[in-house]
Amino acid sequence: MDGLLQQGHELSACYNSYQNDVDTKIANMRSALEAAKTTLQSDPTQLNNAMQSLSNQAKQMQFQRAQKDIQSSIQKFGKDMEKKFKHDISVIYQPESFAGKEQLMQRALAVHFIRQGQFDMCDMFIKEMTSSAGILPDTDDIAINDPALIEAVESLKEQFRQMYKIMKQLSEDHYLEEAIVWAKLHGPDLLGLSSSLEFNLHRLKFVQLLLDKRPMDALVYGRQHFAPFGDKHFAEIKRLMTCTIYSDLAHSPYHYLCTPSLWDDIQIEFQRDFCSLLNMSADSPLYACIYVGTTALPIIMKVHKIMAAKRAEWSQQDELPVEIPLDDDMRFHSVFTCPVSKEQATDTNPPMMMPCGHVICKESLQRLSRNSRYGRNALRFKCPYCPSESTVDQAIQVHF
């Protein structure tokens, strides 16, 4: 990809140079024509000399050779682009993966519209899906026209309307009061998330008062609201109280409190915690799916090409043939590798913790019980990492 990018920059620079050269030559030719015109008007006998001079200058312009080089470079770049990006993704597409899951896809789209604040789009989508779905299908999934789902969607829309209303107040008006009220109302839940949202909102209000040249009001506000956060944020509270002695906060050691990014940070934190209280991620699941899919697609295409050349087949249906590198914020599931079998845990082979605290996969646990020193299929077996003994029934599944 870097090579193509560099090639594109070089081609662009070459074309710009060629275009400038063409403009200069045309301008010179135009000047020569004007000069010849003036000469002929004063002395018509110089016609042959003027035509010869113009002919020689025209031959020196050499447009065709430079244009041919540019055109050749463009064609080569186009072929390289096609070779790099033009792929037939149908060779790795598995339509059976989506068979019978149309309702889940519809629900994902409806929730995505809500999470993006596109409430009218969500209403139109549900209306069209409801009219086209007709009778509720006989499926375990909740249909888009299911009354329970419609009621849940309406409730979700109201909550996200509130979220976007508060975020608009934070971004456009720098109005904090409604966000503070919401954070105080959900204080216990936010505490369970180890969130500092309420304190950060109060801190921003404190700084806002200082920037409005109201240090005494800021001190009173701090005394009223900072006390509950003393255990966790005592150091920051001390800094906030100390910065009141500076009349120009922007040129003080606490100038970081004046940065506009604090308002962006509080919006991100508010949205994240708001979604967390709804048991949702900060980003839309549909966005995450598309982001991960587009990241994985080139790698999977390359693997498919290699496997096709070796006439090998991708036999596993529940896992990819190669690891896909992802950003940390796109990793939602823990990865556990059994220390006994060196296999990665799956839904059918989950990690199990024995009473001693050591964790191995379920299949390894069952093999240990079948090959116990007390005899084949004995109830008790020894942990492979400590002297403790236990039974299969005593092991519990671990959810990381």
Contacts of 371 (CB under 8 A, 6+ apart): 381
pLDDT confidence of residue 220: 94
Classify 87 as helix, strand or coil: coil
Q: How confident is the model at residue 317 (pLDDT cuts 50, 70, 90)?
A: low
- pLDDT value, residue 375: 54
Q: DSSP 3-state assignment of 131?
A: helix
Per the CB < 8 A criterion, the answer to whether 19 and 11 are in contact is no
pLDDT average, residue stretch 158-187: 94
Q: By the 8 A CB rule, do 361 and 351 touch?
A: yes
**Among residues 23, 24, 33, 25, which one has the least CA distance to residue 53?**
33
Q: Report the pLDDT averaged over residues 193-217.
A: 93
C-alpha to C-alpha distances, 315 to 96, 104, 132, 219, 319, nearest whole angstrom:
15, 26, 37, 67, 9
Provide the pLDDT for residue 348. 86
Q: How confident is the model at residue 315 (pLDDT cuts 50, 70, 90)?
A: low
Q: Is the pLDDT of residue 136 over 50?
A: no
Compute the C-alpha angle 122/123/125, nearest 5°. Answer: 65
- Report how far residue 362's alpha carbon sits from residue 381's, in angstroms, rounded to the nearest whole number: 14
Half-sphere exposure of 150 (CA within 13 A, CB side): 11
42-46, 114-118, 187-191, 238-242: range with lowest mean pLDDT: 42-46
Which of 108-117, 122-131, 192-201, 286-295 has the weakest average pLDDT?
Answer: 122-131
Cross-strand pairs, 381: 390
| pTM score of the predicted model | 0.62
Calculate the alpha carbon distances from 374 to 175, 362, 382, 395 in Å.
71, 20, 9, 19
How many Cα neighbours within 13 Å face the side chain of 394?
15
pLDDT given at position 377: 53
249/244 Cα distance (integer angstroms): 8
Which of these ranges, 64-78, 205-219, 294-308, has the smallest mean pLDDT? 64-78
- Short-list 26, 25, 24, 52, CA closest to 39: 52
Question: Across the strands, what pairs with 397?
Answer: 352
DSSP 137: P
Contact at 8 Å (CB) between 349 and 363?
A: yes
Question: What is the model's pLDDT at position 335?
Answer: 78
Please say whether the beta carbons of 132 and 144 come within 8 A: no
- Mean of pLDDT values over 93-117: 82
Query: Does the pLDDT value for residue 165 go beyond 90?
Result: yes
User: Encoding tokens for residue 380?
Assistant: 């008790």
Q: Who wins on pLDDT, 138 or 226?
A: 226
Instruction: Give the pLDDT confidence score for residue 198 in this predicted structure.
Output: 95
The answer to whether 266 and 201 are in contact (CB under 8 A) is: yes
Neighbours of 337 (CB within 10 A): 12
Instruction: Output the CA–CA distances (angstroms, integers) from residue 184 to 188, 198, 229, in the order listed.
Output: 8, 7, 12
Structure tokens at 122: 């969500």
Centroid of chain to Cα 253: 35
* Residue 353 main-chain phi, psi, to 5 deg: -105, 130
Region of residue 375 (phi > 0: left; psi between -120 and 50: alpha; otherwise: beta): left
User: What is residue 352's predicted lDDT score, i.e. its pLDDT?
Assistant: 92
Of residues 144 and 252, more confidently modeled: 252
- The answer to whether 212 and 244 are in contact (CB under 8 A) is no
The residue-averaged pLDDT of 144-161 equals 77
Give yes or no for a contact between 359 and 323, defined as CB atoms under 8 angstroms apart.
Answer: no
